[in-house]
Every structure is written in C-alpha cells, then in structure tokens.
Amino acid sequence: MKLAVIGTGYVGLVSGVCFSELGNEVICVDNAASKIELLNNGEVPIHEPGLKELIASNTAAGRLSFTTDLAAAVSSSEIIIIAVGTPSLPDGKANLAYIEQAAEEIGRAIDDYKVVVVKSTVPVGTNEKVADIIRNHSVASFDFASVPEFLREGTAVRDTLNPDRIIIGTASDRAAELLTELHRPLTDQITITDVRSSEMIKYASNAFLATKISFINEIANICEKVGADVEEVAKGMGMDRRIGSSFLKAGIGYGGSCFPKDTQALIQIAGQMDYDFKLLKSVVEVNRDQRFNVIRKLDDLLGDVAGRTIGIWGLAFKPETDDVRDAPAFEIIEALLERGAQIKAYDPIASNNFEKIFKRSEVQYCESAQEAAQDADALCILTEWKEFIDIPLTDIQKWLKTPNLIDGRNIYKEEDLEATPFAYYSIGRPKMNNGVKETNPILSF
C-alpha cells in the first residue's frame, strides 16, 4: 500500500519506518527541512534501538523516503497518517495547532479518495474536528479513522512490530477494511470501534498505567514505614493475573513525553465536561511528590546537603533513550541546587539534551560514571541504565568520598550490598548499613 506519514517525531518516524519494513511504500513528511535533510543523509534525529538500520535497509529498497512536500506525498498515497505532536499547553490541555495545520494542508492536497488516520494522541472529538477541517478544504472524498499508538520509547521498533492490539476507530467500512489489511501482518488482535471510544482508549490506557505506577510508589512508601519490601509485594501482587506484573516497579515516578502530558490532558477533558477526575489528580500529585523521595533520603543521610557534592547517575526519563522530557532528574537536581549542593551528573547519552533544557548552569556534566561519582559525598541513581548495573559496587566504593548510595530505581539486591560498607537507601525497601539490613521495631498500633 502507499502511505504518507505526516510528522517525523517518535510516533511518526517509527510507524512510517515499520510500515515500510512490512513492504508498504512510505513517504515520511515533516516541515522541518533540517530534519528531512538529516534523514535523507541516513542520520536519525532520535536515539531508538534498531531504527537506523531499518531506515537504511528500507530506503535502499526504495520503499521509504523523506520529504517536506506534504501535498505531493498526500497526492501519491492511499492512506495519510497524521502523527504530529500534541504538546501540553500551560493549563494542561493538548495543543492542537499542529494537527489543525496538518489537516488544512491535507485537505488542500487531497485529489482522490483517501483514508486519513490520526495517530497523534488527541482529546475525544478531535478526529471529527480534523475531518471537518479537511472537508472544508477538500474537493475529493475521504474517510477518517483514529488509530492510536501504544509504542514505548527505547523499545519503539519492537513494540510497533509486535503490538498487543491494534485499535481502529472509524464509522467507515471501507476505511476499516483498508486499515485492517494494513495492520493484519502485525497482529490478529484488531478491534474496530467508534472514533470517540478509540480516542478514549489511548488516554484511558496511559492513565491506567500511570495509576499503577503511582499506586506501587505509595505502597513502597508505606513499605518503608512498616519494614516490608516493595519488590516482594509487587511480585506477589503481579502473580494474580487480574493485576498483572507489569508497571509495578516502584521508583522515583514516571516521566517522559506521554504519561505526564496525557494524564493532565485527561483531567482537562473530564473537567471540561464538568467531571472531576479525582483519582487521576491524585495519581499526578503522588507522582510529583515521589521525585522528592530521593531528597528526603539524602537529608536523612547527610543532615544538610549544602556544600556537599552529590553524584547523579542518569538524566533520561528511562534507559535506552536520550529523551529527557519531564524526567524526574530536573526537579531533583533543581531542589538539590536550591539547597546548596554541588552536582556532578552523568548519563550515557542524554546529557546534551538535558543541558539544553535545564535552566541552571551550576551542574557539572561528566564524561563517565566514574567522574560523576569521584569524591562525591553521595551517589544517586535516577535511571536504571545497564551501564550502571554492570559497575561493581567495589568500584563505586573506591570512587566515592563516603559510601552513601541512594538507588532511586532499585537496581541492587540485598545480597549485592552484603559485605560492603555502604549506607544504602532504595525505594520501598529497608535501609542497609555496612551490609546489614535495618530492622524495624515491633509495630505497635
């Protein structure tokens, strides 16, 4: 099939490349000429495992191309996929300016029957608005559908090629048929539904996953108080198939380009309909507070962080990505600087992106994990990069001035800490001191 994908961000680029891998002819469109030039030179603007290789093989096979010419791409394609950004506005609502602009341009370019698909995450009702805009500018007929994307950064190619399900929201049998044929090679789990339910499925899924994370983080906080181990609790809970074991990893809260934005947007959508989404508001509040868990532990460990050197490992919101959008590291480092700490930070690939966005210049960005830990009063692990997991604790001990370790992602096990001199704080597990687990006194109620 012939496809045009508008927008070469995470969703658009990965979807376009994966559709070409399935044998379709795909033209990826972006109005940022510099991005298109980069892609045409075989370079990839984002770090995503496996993507560069697929771009190279599919462009060489003549199935994948990149252009700024939206009209030409639309005119030569049967299916148009809109995958432009919908960033948050200051009040939390999704900014639909890019999608509306794309709709107008698509409308002007349609010269024959097309199926227009919205893949961007958009508030309920947006697909219908997009269709209206296209209709107002178009002379030819088209059908429209909402096909939300559920890929995760860092595993985007794998997720796109092996989806759990495909949701197709459309009122048109012709569009449903064409889109089922397009997605059939990926999975048999294809659900056809109405447009508004499809739009809602995306928000509800992300909000539910965010809820699972905030829930386990609160359980972790209680575990710390009662002397239980959240890793054991999550394992025991996850064995119940009704609960499931995924997204029960306690830590310093979720970040990234989707959960923070989509939870806020869903709260706004509900509010506009006079519905107060109390549960989701609490999920967001718990997530914000969880970031300060690290600070509370540092205060407990050092008394006062003023004038102390704190090593930070990990700036990306999760491993295998250089994306720092809404990463917990921003608020944690900001709070530490406010309290007068000196910060030495290291991330395998995200430091440049972090430095570009972070407003303060006091951070010392390091070239290696060792440099960030060297002579520090404490080390905080904020992202669970494999590079960190592979570093022996004996090395960390040698590098630090004092063996104080705050593990915001629970990358070490109790047995790793035995026979070490660390003061070790993790999330939702007992503290350890000199290899010995701190035991709680008998609980009295």
Active-site annotation, residues: 258
Q: Is 64 among the residues that bind ligand UDX (CB under 6 A)?
A: no
CA pair distance 290, 122, nearest whole angstrom: 28
The residue among 150 and 388 lying less far from ligand UDX, judged by its C-beta, is 150
CB of 262 to ligand UDX, least distance (A): 7
Q: How far is CA 100 from CA 131, 133, 137, 253, 307, in A?
A: 10, 7, 12, 33, 50
Which positions from 241 through 300 interact with ligand UDX, judged by CB under 6 A? 247-249, 251, 254-256, 258-259
163 binds ligand UDX (CB under 6 A): no
Stretch that binds ligand UDX, among 49-57, 144-152, 331-339, 349-357 (CB under 6 A): 144-152
Nearer to ligand UDX, 70 or 216 (CB): 216
d(CA 191, CA 168): 6
Number of residues that bind ligand UDX (CB under 6 A): 19
- The residue (of 109 and 213) whose beta carbon lies closer to ligand UDX is 213
Do the beta carbons of residue 424 and residue 407 sit within 8 Å?
yes
**DSSP letters spanning 22-43:** TT-EEEEE-S-HHHHHHHHTT-
Name the one range near ligand UDX by CB under 6 A: 125-133, 145-153, 172-180, 357-365: 145-153
Q: Does 318 bind ligand UDX (CB under 6 A)?
A: yes
Cα pseudo-dihedral 366, 318, 34, 42, rounded to 10: 100
Of the candidates 25, 143, 153, 331, which one interacts with ligand UDX according to CB under 6 A? 153
Query: Can you read off the two tokens belonging to residue 326?
Result: 């809404």
* DSSP, res 439: P
365 binds ligand UDX per the rule CB under 6 A: no
Taken in order 134, 130, 89, 37, the sign of the CA dihedral is: negative
Among 129, 135, 137, 152, binds ligand UDX (CB under 6 A): 152
CB of 152 to ligand UDX, least distance (A): 4
Q: Which stretch binds ligand UDX (CB under 6 A): 150-158, 160-168, 411-419, 427-435?
A: 150-158
Residue 228: what residue type?
A
Say whether 335 sits in a helix, a strand or coil.
helix
Coil, helix or strand for 212?
A: helix
The footprint of ligand UDX (CB under 6 A) covers 149-153, 206, 209, 213, 247-249, 251, 254-256, 258-259, 317-318
